[in-house]
């Protein structure tokens, strides 16, 4: 995980721990072998644009989605004056939705949880489609093929950004079967149980701190052996984690123990030249086993802050000039809100619109300045890093998650993985999607509010994003609209303000059916502005935090579709709506 825009973070990798469905591809479009032909209407003629270069091969896993109408109960229909109107043009397709933008992160300190049927059912229902492993900063001290000790050329101590040696070897191992950690075999088990594909971060740090005669070759060989062991199960491979960061293993090395003349402090050029060695070794391994893999290098998605250390200032230029034409995709991380700040709901929710747009713009600018063609971009870690008011475990974090997923799709990222599945309570500063058993008053694996916002987004958004236009009285509302290949159309409406909005929704070029369906998600009244509860169509949790555990069978609101849809949008709410086809 990235500790955003800080100058020095101690090496303590245990601290970094707590901060830091594979589907068969089918042909796109509305015809050909499409099992769900679109409805017939003389004005209905959507055309899929070519995949954006920033999405690229991450759309290879795309397949059409079919909407299944839920059980329903009559919903409230607003009949008064409207404050806002939304027009959705189903013919104007912005992009097909990459199935890999709903991803999540596993880690090595959550236990061997694949034997937990309750958690596994939640994950299956969530359907993240892609899960990253083995973790964040831990990836750079991870030896996938060892059980309790690293190789002989891994030093007993590593240096933090101040040059202070670690008190003990900070290494982690893929073969450690202790109950508190997570084996590599169980990572693969997790992917299989949740019908997800993997994205793996290999140990780049070893190329820096290794004490052998050629540490880069040794680390690249270790990565290539993993590709061979993986045997084609994983297509997406990251070279290291946030290696520009002064909190990362390998940022600073002991030159007296280095045998290939590396500088004490990493630079983008050093990393980029090493990436080329890794890529050659890993691709050769993939060829040996007849597999296709895609290799990514890490970039920064924002300009260096004033006073940033030199490695950060020149990172992107160094990576792009050396390895930009070698890798297949680029990797960025972002934790959206100000570091270690007691952020307000408004502070948090505003970042969901601005950060993905600014990040993609900056990456495109950096690539163009380097004279390179655009490549796919993966946001393999994202979340908020607000502290002090239990923001991370609140329904506001859930609203932020919904708003961010829509923004990620709109800004055409190829992949995105939220950080992370389960973490540590830390007084409510817990980025985990599920309770790891240390949250007061909550059962083990209880889903946090963000789970519900992500679940309904994945279930109800569709497989294409389409153009919409919002005429609004202020900036409270954000909308993302989409269509299913099976013909239905819908929208996600997010009210980040504290006032009720009365919204009218019109569809253009849509062969409307007889009904529409919707779910309204709101927070509770506990914990001031940051309730740890979420209510779905008025049904809340049976315990102190979380939401209704019967989410999969909760009845949707429904109403006749006879013209303009009229919705009351409560303050601080998210509405997921789908209109039936003719």
Token pair for 535: 């209510």
Q: What integer pLDDT is reported at residue 168 of this predicted model?
A: 84
466 exposure class (CB count in 10 Å sphere: 0-12, 13-18, 19+): buried
Distance CA 167, CA 292 (A): 41
Does domain 1-6+21-133+375-582 correspond to CATH entry 2.60.40.1180?
yes
Closest to 401 measured CA to CA, from 444, 358, 364, 348: 348
- HEC string of 214-251 equals CHHHHHHHHHHHHHHHHCCCCCEEEECCCCCCCCCCCC
Q: What integer pLDDT is reported at residue 254 of this predicted model?
A: 97
Q: What integer pLDDT is reported at residue 167 of this predicted model?
A: 85
Is the confidence at residue 397, as pLDDT, over 70? yes
Share of the chain above pLDDT 70, in %: 93
Mean pLDDT of 322-347: 98
Q: What integer pLDDT is reported at residue 41 of this predicted model?
A: 64
Distance CA 207, CA 199 (A): 20
Q: What integer pLDDT is reported at residue 43 of this predicted model?
A: 87
Mean pLDDT of 182-188: 98
Place of tokens 């999405």: 55
Mean pLDDT of 157-164: 95
Mean pLDDT of 159-169: 92
Angle at 165 between CA 162 and CA 170, to 5 degrees: 115
Residue 329: is the preceding peptide bond cis (ω within 30°)?
Answer: no
Q: What integer pLDDT is reported at residue 30 of this predicted model?
A: 31
Least confident among 26-30, 194-198, 446-450, 523-527:
26-30
Mean pLDDT of 383-393: 98
CA torsion sign, 205 to 206 to 209 to 213?
Answer: negative
Q: What integer pLDDT is reported at residue 81 of this predicted model?
A: 96
Residue 42: is the preceding peptide bond cis (ω within 30°)?
Answer: no
- 3 or 179, which is more confident: 179
Q: What integer pLDDT is reported at residue 14 of this predicted model?
A: 32
Q: What integer pLDDT is reported at residue 28 of this predicted model?
A: 31
Is the confidence at residue 29, as pLDDT, over 50? no
What confidence category does residue 420 fall into, taking pLDDT thresholds of 50, 70 and 90? very high
Closest to 298 measured CA to CA, from 266, 324, 325: 324
Q: What integer pLDDT is reported at residue 6 of this predicted model?
A: 33
Distance CA 172, CA 195 (A): 26
pLDDT 10s digits, 36-54:
455 556 689 999 999 999 9
Share of the chain above pLDDT 90, in %: 92
What confidence category does residue 90 fall into, taking pLDDT thresholds of 50, 70 and 90? very high
Least confident among 16-30, 105-119, 264-278:
16-30
Q: What integer pLDDT is reported at residue 20 of this predicted model?
A: 37
Distance CA 526, CA 402 (A): 21
Q: What integer pLDDT is reported at residue 42 of this predicted model?
A: 60
Is the confidence at residue 110, as pLDDT, over 60? yes
Q: Where are the alpha helices (DSSP H) in 307-414?
A: 310-313, 315-323, 345-369, 395-410
pLDDT 10s digits, 112-136:
999 999 999 999 999 999 999 999 9
Task: From residue 22, give the alpha-carbon distance in Å to each of 125, 197, 234, 462, 488.
Answer: 14, 5, 10, 17, 24
Q: What integer pLDDT is reported at residue 101 of this predicted model?
A: 98
Strand 329-334, strand 130-133: pairing: unpaired
Residue ranges per structural domain of the chain: 1-6+21-133+375-582, 135-181+196-327
Closest to 136 measured CA to CA, from 58, 203, 209, 221: 203
Mean pLDDT of 64-71: 97
Q: What integer pLDDT is reported at residue 413 of this predicted model?
A: 98
pLDDT 10s digits, 345-365:
999 999 999 999 999 999 999
250 exposure class (CB count in 10 Å sphere: 0-12, 13-18, 19+): buried
Distance CA 253, CA 258 (A): 8
What confidence category does residue 212 fall into, taking pLDDT thresholds of 50, 70 and 90? very high
Give the number of other Cβ atoms within 10 Å of residue 284's Cβ. 13
Place of tokens 């994205």: 199
pLDDT 10s digits, 492-510:
999 999 999 999 999 999 9
pLDDT 10s digits, 530-577:
999 999 999 999 999 999 999 999 999 999 999 999 999 999 999 999
């Amino acid at each position: 995980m990235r500790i955003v825009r800080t100058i020095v973070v101690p090496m303590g990798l245990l601290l970094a721990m707590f901060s830091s469905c594979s589907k068969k591809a089918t042909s796109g479009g509305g015809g050909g072998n499409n099992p769900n032909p679109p409805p017939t209407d003389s004005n209905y003629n959507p055309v899929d644009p070519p995949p954006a270069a920033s999405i690229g091969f991450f759309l290879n896993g795309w397949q059409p989605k079919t909407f299944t109408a839920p059980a329903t109960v009559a919903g409230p229909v607003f009949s008064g004056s409207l404050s806002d109107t939304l027009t959705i043009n189903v013919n104007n397709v912005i992009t097909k939705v990459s199935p890999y933008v709903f991803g999540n992160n596993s880690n090595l300190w959550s236990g061997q949880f694949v034997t937990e049927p309750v958690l596994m059912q939640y994950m299956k229902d969530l359907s993240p489609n892609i899960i990253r492993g083995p973790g964040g900063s831990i990836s750079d001290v991870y030896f996938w093929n060892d059980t309790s000790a690293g190789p002989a050329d891994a030093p007993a101590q590593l240096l933090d950004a101040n040059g202070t040696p670690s008190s003990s070897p900070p290494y982690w191992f893929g073969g450690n079967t202790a109950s508190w950690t997570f084996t590599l075999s169980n990572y693969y088990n997790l992917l299989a149980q949740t019908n997800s594909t993997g994205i793996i971060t290999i140990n780049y740090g070893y190329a820096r701190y290794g004490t052998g005669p050629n540490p880069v070759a040794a680390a690249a060989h270790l990565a290539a052996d993993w590709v061979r062991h993986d045997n084609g199960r994983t297509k997406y491979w990251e070279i290291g984690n946030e290696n520009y960061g002064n909190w990362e293993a390998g940022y600073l090395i002991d030159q007296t123990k280095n045998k290939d003349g590396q500088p004490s402090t990493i630079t983008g050029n050093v990393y980029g030249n090493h990436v080329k060695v890794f890529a050659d070794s890993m691709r050769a391994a993939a060829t040996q086993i007849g597999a296709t893999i895609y290799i990514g290098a890490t970039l920064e998605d924002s300009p260096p802050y004033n006073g940033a250390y030199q490695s950060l200032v020149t990172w992107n230029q160094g990576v792009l000039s050396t390895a930009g034409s070698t890798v297949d995709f680029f990797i960025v991380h972002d934790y959206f809100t100000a570091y270690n700040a007691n952020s307000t709901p408004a502070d948090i929710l505003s970042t969901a619109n601005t950060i993905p747009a600014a990040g993609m713009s900056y990456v495109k600018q950096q690539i163009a300045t380097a004279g390179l063609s655009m490549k796919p971009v993966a946001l393999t870690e994202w979340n908020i890093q607000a502290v002090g008011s239990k923001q991370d475990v609140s329904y506001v974090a859930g609203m932020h998650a919904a708003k961010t997923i829509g923004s990620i799709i709109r800004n055409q990222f190829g992949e995105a993985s939220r950080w992370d599945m389960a973490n540590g309570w830390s007084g409510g500063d817990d980025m985990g999607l599920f309770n790891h058993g240390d949250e007061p008053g909550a059962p083990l694996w209880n889903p946090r509010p963000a789970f519900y916002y992500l679940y309904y987004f994945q279930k109800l958004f569709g497989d294409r994003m389409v153009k919409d236009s919002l005429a609004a009285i202020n900036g409270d509302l954000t909308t993302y609209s989409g269509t299913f290949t099976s013909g239905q159309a819908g929208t996600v409406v997010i009210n980040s303000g504290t006032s009720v909005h009365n919204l009218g929704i019109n569809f253009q070029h849509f062969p409307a059916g007889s009904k529409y369906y919707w779910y309204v998600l709101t927070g509770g009244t506990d914990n001031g502005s940051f309730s740890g509860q979420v209510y779905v169509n008025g049904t809340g949790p049976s315990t102190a935090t979380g939401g209704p555990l019967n989410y999969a069978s909760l009845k949707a609101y429904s109403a006749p579709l006879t013209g303009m849809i009229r919705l009351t949008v409560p303050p601080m709410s998210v509405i997921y709506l789908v209109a039936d086809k003719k």
